[in-house]
Amino acid sequence: MHLKSDDCLQDDPWKLFERNKLIPINFSPGYKMSARNTQWIKKEIEWSQSGQAKEGPHGTGESRLVDPLYPFGFGLSYTTFEHKNLKIENNLTTKSGDLKVSFDLTNVGNMAGDEIPQLYIEDVRSSVITYQYQLRGFDRIFLEPGKTKRVVFTLKPEHLTLLNREMDEVVEPGLFKLTVGASSTDIRLNGEFEIIK
């Protein structure tokens, strides 16, 4: 069966499967699709340009994104996953030890599928400004419907370094927030831990 490229661009790909009697899908793809239909991508984007005119011959227009168009991990899945029972085992110092972060991941949908849980940290009391969400781990987990897997991430001191004012790479003692989610904007679990000297 030959499909025209126009069909693929203008039509819902799942309708193409039904209409052209192609192989039915009974599992969630091993990747997250950005959309099922091109008409679906109509996201409102916030723009900003400080102090310059937007209109006229020297206007800048709307030229700078404030929020990301698609956050890391964005996409559709054809099943649903639940994250629960977060446990943090902290044996970290600024020089040694490790931090084990574990939680249960359950496929609560009707199809088998992949989930990519992501671990983010935030240094709450750093001596310099750091990013709010710093990705420190992710994994691809395949689960059949109704199945649960215990997911474990292990962090070492080198995963928590920053460049201080003297441009030295250091691990600073203090409080850290920890989040687990399906994407950087879809956070499911929250916790915190502290590093002592």
The CATH number of whichever domain residue 124 belongs to comes to: 2.60.40.10
Return the pLDDT at 176.
95
Return the pLDDT at 78.
86
Say if 7 falls within a structural domain: no
Does 35 have pLDDT greater than 60? no
pTM value? Answer: 0.69
**Between 69 and 78, where is the model more confident?**
78
Which residue do the tokens 């069909």 mark?
A: 7
Q: In the predicted model, what is the mean pLDDT of the chain?
A: 78
Distance CA 134, CA 110 (A): 32
Domain count of the fold of the chain: 1
Say if 89 falls within a structural domain: yes
Return the pLDDT at 76.
77
Say if 12 falls within a structural domain: no
Return the pLDDT at 3.
45
Taking every pair of Cα atoms in the chain, the longest distance, rounded to a whole number of angstroms, is 66
Lowest mean pLDDT, pick from 5-14, 39-48, 150-159: 39-48
Say if 4 falls within a structural domain: no
**What is the DSSP track for 117-148?**
-EEEEEETT-SS---S-EEEEE--EEE-TT-E
Return the pLDDT at 48.
46
Say if 31 falls within a structural domain: no
Say if 169 falls within a structural domain: yes
Confidence of residue 4 (pLDDT cuts 50, 70, 90): very low
Say if 162 falls within a structural domain: yes
**Between 101 and 130, where is the model more confident?**
101
Domain of 116, in residue numbers: 81-195
The tokens describing 146, both together, are 């109704």
Say if 152 falls within a structural domain: yes
By the 8 A CB rule, do 48 and 63 touch? no
